[in-house]
Chains A and B, each alone.
Chain A
Amino acid sequence: MLDLAPDLTQAAGWMPIVFLVVMGLAMLAYVILDGYDLGVGVLMRRASDDDKDTMIASIGPFWDANETWLVLGVGILLTVFPMAHGVILGALYLPVAFMLIGLTLRGVAFDFRVKARAAHKPLWNRLFYTGSLLASWSQGYMLGSLITGFADTWWTMVFNAVIGLALVAAYCLLGAGWLIIKSEGALQLQAVRWARASLLFTMAGVAAISIATPLISQRIFEKWFSFPNIVLLLPIPAATAVLFAIIFRSLQRLPVRLGQGNEYGAWVPFGATVGVFLLAFYGLAYSLFPWLVIDRITIWQAATAPEAMGVILVGALVVLPMIIGYTVFAYRVFWGKSTALKY
């Protein structure tokens, strides 16, 4: 793969790799962080009115900062890989637009639902749900497009749409895991049931993607199923399967324990789901590297001038630790079971 790379001792060689890692981590942070609050949004449709408020309260202080990771990820694509940015976003024009409309709807509904007149609250709740669903599904669709190299055939569109559904299920699993941590009583038990249903859909989705991806892309097939790669890579699907088993077992045991007021292991479903996301992300990164657009644009072809990358890198190295620091601070401030949101 690195035979496509220029001299890696030069800035133009190694800097794009560094930024690919930063962009990947930003996108991963986005998918996990906004993933749980989007998931909570999708699940909200099935909750009672009181539970809806508690669910919103569990994501209230965080959703805004969570979405900023998306801006950072797409910002790096825009600023460091400008040559690929136009191609990718041009190809994803419609799903991007639908995602943005979804994110807009849910972002504003979050505030309007408690500020507008009471009679309108159910409408804003519905928009919050619809927006969350639309944004999640569009993101999955885009993920599918990325894997298929933005091909525009009927089959790839079906593939993309199915990945969209799988990502909705995975976000619901994350969201339910988050609710198990942040809520109590009936809602917490309800969250366990939601997690169980989401888990089945997520597992089916991940299996479908794993089978379909090598079939759809010859290049990815060769990358995975040649010797010795297949042996070295085997731990990824194996670990994923183990994590799914852990979540499954935890969800079976949790209701009894939580019923007794014992919170031990309440973190397991969320934590293990994050693990699944990490592994899936790693597998995806391995499949695609070093292409930004499969077989068309590598990270080096897309990168901006080294001096501009250097300026951004210095800023990122100074500021990113601070961002992580105060993000941890914010999560600590709102640690524990969520309470009603008060101004």
Chain B
Amino acid sequence: MDGFDAFLLARIQFAANITFHILFPTISISLAWVLLFFKLRFVKTGQQHWMDAYQFWVKIFALTFALGVVSGITMSFQFGTNWPGYMEKVGNIAGPLLAYEVLTAFFLEATMLGVMLFGRERVSETLHTVATLLVAGGTTLSAFWILALNSWMQTPAGFEMINGQAHVTSWFEVIFNPSFPYRMVHMLLASGLTVAFLVAGISAYRWLRKDRGAEVMASLKTGVYTAALLIPLQIIAGDLHGLNTLEHQPAKLAAMEGIWKTEKGAPAVLFALPDEKAKENRYEIAIPKLASLYLTHSLDGEIKGLDQFEGKHPPVAPVFWAFRIMVGMGLLMLAVSWAATWQLAPWKKGTERNLRPWHAKLLVAMTFAGWVALIAGWYVTEIGRQPWLVTGVLTAAEAASSVPAPRIALTLSLYLTLYAALIVAYISVVFYLARHRKHADKPFGTGLEDTPNPVTYPQQEGAPHA
């Protein structure tokens, strides 16, 4: 019984860490590109408000990046402390992919970050822009490698098993395994949407506080337009990813849809309480034949149910619910971003082209909506892979370590306390920075120092301040 407890605790600990970690790279990947966009707009137009936007968001970027780095270092150790069997069995594949991530991406982004954050007065404008580009490229490259590995664990390809160890037969097939292109696109769009809503939400927050200079309006429009553009693409990409899952991981898909028995003309379940013991849904509300229609493009297409994967399918309720939270969030994002785009539409003139206050409040409420959808989505795909760690090759239980449960419990409680405190600190500091940002339209280099303290920012006269 002790072994089981340690296994469960190790799982919770790793899940907690990876959940905490993913919040921050998701923001830094796309925020780096948004910063590059602000920088390029400034270089091209010479308009100060673009640089102001850059200088506001680069602070949040630096904070986000630091949180991503420290939680990422923790991850690199927890692979070994929590799942020693993982590297022993598939190290020949996971090893090089992780090594390439460190070598090609981590050093590049970490080193160039220093130049990007603090070097603007020490290097030329062009070199500073290049440093920003390299940071953005580094973050994206890092996502490429880690998603290649994650996708390989979902849908392994390009290897053979010799004496219980995986050996590569084709690196191309390992990296571009069946689910990788879909996951990569889906994740990058998720990152883009998370940042779009973050930028829109924080800008709407400043707008509500009558901070309505050119900088805030430019940020607001950047956030809203990006969200409105990306969300339909994400819905399409998500749908294609689902079809890919149906083909390669049918057990996960059956859990997502809550389909217990293999049937033709399967319904789309809108609401239900999946019951693992009775192997059925309770209080089900469903639309007949719809799941077959969107998954097989035929009203009577056959969908494999969970009965086909007895004992080898993931826990149904968490996957089922996480999937609905993600989809619901996506639809909410679609409605909110399109409505905001309508209010801010470029063809409207003068005061017509403005945000309604209630809608600004909605955007503020959805500042971190991307995080909710992101975590729900990752829970679908990661819990959906269980009981496997690497589908068909290695189960999570086989890879677990023999660290005694009390030690894991001790560190787990420390980590959880730390993470909860840091998330609270992060969110409150982001809003704090938004409140204490001086007004835009000031010449560059005055009062922008990050040290000794941003609280010394002069308050613009007449700017209401709570």
Please report which residues of chain B, range 76-130, place their CB below 8 angstroms from some CB of chain A when the two chains form the complex: 76-77, 79-81, 84-85, 87-88, 91-96, 98-100, 102-104, 106-108, 110-115, 117-123
- Min C-beta distance of A136 to chain B, whole Å: 15
A66-99 to B contact mask, C-beta < 8 Å, 1/0: 0110111011111110110111111001101100
Q: By the criterion CB–CB under 8 Å, are B114 and A71 in contact?
A: no
Residues on B with C-beta less than 8 A from A97 are 81, 411, 414-415
Closest to B20 in A: A104
A310-335 to B contact mask, C-beta < 8 Å, 1/0: 01100110011001001101100110
A61 in contact with B403 given A71-B106, A115-B59, A118-B453 (CB within 8 Å)? no
- The B interface is mostly helix, strand or loop, or mixed, namely helix
Please report which residues of chain A, range 30-62, place their CB below 8 angstroms from some CB of chain B when the two chains form the complex: 50, 53, 56-57, 60-62
Q: By the criterion CB–CB under 8 Å, are B59 and A343 in contact?
A: yes
Number of contacts between A and B (CB, 8 Å)? 243
A343 in contact with B448 given A107-B69, A118-B453 (CB within 8 Å)? yes
Q: By the criterion CB–CB under 8 Å, are B118 and A334 in contact?
A: yes
Closest to A72 in B: B102
How big is chain B's contact interface, by range? 35 or more
A341 in contact with B451 given A85-B84, A308-B96 (CB within 8 Å)? yes
Judge whether B418 is part of the interface by a CB distance below 8 angstroms: yes
B27-48 to A contact mask, C-beta < 8 Å, 1/0: 0000000000000000000000
Judge whether B268 is part of the interface by a CB distance below 8 angstroms: no
Q: By the criterion CB–CB under 8 Å, are A82 and B425 in contact?
A: no
Complex CA distance for A110 and B117, rounded to whole angstroms: 14
B53-82 to A contact mask, C-beta < 8 Å, 1/0: 001001100110111011111101101110
B319-332 to A contact mask, C-beta < 8 Å, 1/0: 00000000000000
Complex CA distance for A118 and B410, rounded to whole angstroms: 33
Among A82, A110, A319, find the residue whose CB has the most chain B CB atoms closer than 10 A.
Answer: A82
Please report which residues of chain B, range 246-265, place their CB below 8 angstroms from some CB of chain A when the two chains form the complex: none
Judge whether A304 is part of the interface by a CB distance below 8 angstroms: yes
Judge whether B171 is part of the interface by a CB distance below 8 angstroms: yes
- Min C-beta distance of A186 to chain B, whole Å: 17
Please report which residues of chain A, range 102-130, place their CB below 8 angstroms from some CB of chain B when the two chains form the complex: 103-105, 107-108, 110-112, 114-118, 121
Complex CA distance for A327 and B73, rounded to whole angstroms: 20
Complex CA distance for A112 and B65, rounded to whole angstroms: 12
Judge whether B16 is part of the interface by a CB distance below 8 angstroms: no
Q: By the criterion CB–CB under 8 Å, are A78 and B76 in contact?
A: yes
Judge whether A342 is part of the interface by a CB distance below 8 angstroms: yes
Judge whether B343 is part of the interface by a CB distance below 8 angstroms: no
Among B58, B76, B115, B422, find the residue whose CB has the most chain A CB atoms closer than 10 A.
Answer: B76
- Min C-beta distance of B359 to chain A, whole Å: 29
A90 in contact with B81 given A116-B432, A326-B112 (CB within 8 Å)? yes
Judge whether A101 is part of the interface by a CB distance below 8 angstroms: yes
Residues on B with C-beta less than 8 A from A112 are 63, 425, 429
A70 in contact with B73 given A333-B119, A340-B449 (CB within 8 Å)? yes
Partner pick for B429 among A56, A67, A115, A326, CB 8 A cutoff: A115
A179-195 to B contact mask, C-beta < 8 Å, 1/0: 00000000000000000
- Min C-beta distance of B429 to chain A, whole Å: 5
Judge whether B164 is part of the interface by a CB distance below 8 angstroms: no
Q: By the criterion CB–CB under 8 Å, are B87 and A78 in contact?
A: yes
Partner pick for A80 among B67, B95, B407, B450, CB 8 A cutoff: B95
A343 in contact with B55 given A307-B92, A319-B103 (CB within 8 Å)? yes
Residues on B with C-beta less than 8 A from A121 are 453
Judge whether B357 is part of the interface by a CB distance below 8 angstroms: no
Residues on B with C-beta less than 8 A from A204 are none
Partner pick for B62 among A77, A111, A327, A329, CB 8 A cutoff: A111
Among B55, B107, B171, find the residue whose CB has the most chain A CB atoms closer than 10 A.
Answer: B107
Residues on A with C-beta less than 8 A from B115 are 61, 330, 333
Q: By the criterion CB–CB under 8 Å, are A57 and B451 in contact?
A: yes
Complex CA distance for A341 and B75, rounded to whole angstroms: 29
Q: By the criterion CB–CB under 8 Å, are A343 and B118 in contact?
A: yes
Judge whether A5 is part of the interface by a CB distance below 8 angstroms: no
Q: By the criterion CB–CB under 8 Å, are B119 and A304 in contact?
A: no
Judge whether B168 is part of the interface by a CB distance below 8 angstroms: yes
Judge whether A100 is part of the interface by a CB distance below 8 angstroms: yes
Judge whether A241 is part of the interface by a CB distance below 8 angstroms: no
Residues on A with C-beta less than 8 A from B122 are 333-334
B351-389 to A contact mask, C-beta < 8 Å, 1/0: 000000000000000000000000000000000000000
Q: A61-B118, A96-B77, A334-B119 are in contact. List 15 more A-B contacts (CB 8 A).
A: A68-B107, A78-B95, A79-B96, A90-B80, A94-B410, A104-B71, A108-B425, A114-B452, A114-B454, A304-B92, A315-B103, A323-B107, A326-B111, A342-B120, A343-B117
A-B contact pairs, 14 of them (CB 8 A): A53-B451, A65-B114, A68-B102, A68-B107, A71-B73, A79-B98, A85-B84, A87-B84, A100-B73, A112-B429, A304-B92, A304-B95, A312-B95, A315-B100
Chain A residues close to B by CB (< 8 Å): 50, 53, 56-57, 60-62, 64-65, 67-68, 70-72, 74-80, 82-83, 85-90, 93-94, 96-97, 100-101, 103-105, 107-108, 110-112, 114-118, 121, 304-305, 307-308, 311-312, 315-316, 319-320, 323, 326-327, 329-330, 333-334, 340-343
Query: Top 4 A-B pairs ranked by shortest CB distance?
Result: A86-B84, A79-B95, A61-B114, A82-B87
